Structure 1
Amino acid sequence: MSTLQVVEVVLLAGCLVVALWLVLLWLRRRALSAHGPVSPCAVRLPGSHRWRLGLLRLSSGQLDWFSVSGMTTSPTMSWSREGLDISTPSTELVSIPGLMSAVSLTLSGSSGDLADLALEPKIYPAVRSWLESAPPGRGVNVT
């Protein structure tokens, strides 16, 4: 094999790896969205200054966060809907690579602050509505 052929084979293999990775990310995103709406967001844990980019899913009983770089379909972090509270979004936009414009809000529970979330401003009303509505099976016999 000549040097040019070796370079072509290496470039082809690299392109195939990138294409396979993109297809796997697309399949993972479809699998995640099959169980509830998914939107891009970032999370910052208490005591940390670093935002981690990921996907937020609203399921019937919990708020799930998935790392954007992982291949697993199980959530990296999960917060139970019961007892969860979110603050109003900050007035200033947060600059996070991967999110066009984002507002930050704080998730809190009975044990205190759980995490900070950065969401696109148009996603916040959906998360607030999800949190304030009754979970399935709750209050069905209310008169």
Structure 2
Amino acid sequence: MSTLQAVELILLAGCLLLALWLVLVWLRRRSLAAHGPLNPCAVKLPESPRWRLGLLRLGSDRLDWFSVGRVTTHPTMTWLREGLEISTPQSGETVSIPGLDGALSVTLSGRDGVLARLAVEPKIYPAIRSWLESAPPGHNVNVT
């Protein structure tokens, strides 16, 4: 086998692996969207200096965040709805993150203090806010 043939085989294998990864990411996105709407979002943990791009899903009792590049259908981070608080975005405070135009930065906090900072598109913030402020299904049903 000549050097040119070896290089061609390596390039072919690389292209096939890239195509396989793209198909898996596409199938994962469809699988995640089957369980509720997904929104682009970035998260920044208190101990981390960088933003990580991902997908945010509002569940009935929790907020799930999925990393963009992973293939698993399990959430990378989950925050339970009960005890979760979200700050209001500061006026004029936007963060520049590729893939999120004019993202608003808000703080998620819970009983243990600050959990993370979220960067969401301005049209998504009211949905997250209303989801958080509404009562979870079945919560305080038998109040007399």
TM-score, normalized by length of structure 1? 0.88
Spell out structure 1 runs of 4+ moving beyond 6 A.
none
Q: Hey, which of these two has a bigger chunk of strand by percent?
A: 2
Instruction: Please list every run of 5 or more consecutive structure 2 residues that lacks an aligned counterpart in the other structure.
Output: none
The answer to which of 18-27 and 47-56 deviates more is 47-56
Instruction: Please list every run of 5 or more consecutive structure 1 residues that lacks an aligned counterpart in the other structure.
Output: none
Give, as a single letter, the amino acid of the residue that structure 2 aligns with 1:137.
G
Shift of 1:102: 0.8
| Residue aligned with 1:82, SS | coil
Match for residue 102 of structure 2? 101
- How many aligned residue pairs are there? 143
Match for residue 121 of structure 1? 122
Give, as a single letter, the amino acid of the residue that structure 2 aligns with 1:105.
V
The 5-angstrom pairing of residues 126-141 of structure 1 reads 126-140=127-141
Match for residue 37 of structure 1? 37
Match for residue 26 of structure 1? 26
Give, as a single letter, the amino acid of the residue that structure 1 aligns with 2:81.
R
Are 1:10 and 2:7 matched, yes or no?
A: no
Shift of 1:38: 1.1
State how far apart, in whole Å, the 2-side matches of 1:36 and 1:139 are. Answer: 24
Give, as a single letter, the amino acid of the residue that structure 1 aligns with 2:137.
P
| Offset from partner CA, 1:59-84 (integer Å, 9 cap, x none) | 11000111222222111111111111
Shift of 1:4: 3.4
TM-score, normalized by length of structure 2? 0.87
| Offset from partner CA, 1:71-124 (integer Å, 9 cap, x none) | 221111111111111111232210123323211000111222111100111111
State how far apart, in whole Å, the 2-side matches of 1:45 and 1:10 are. Answer: 38
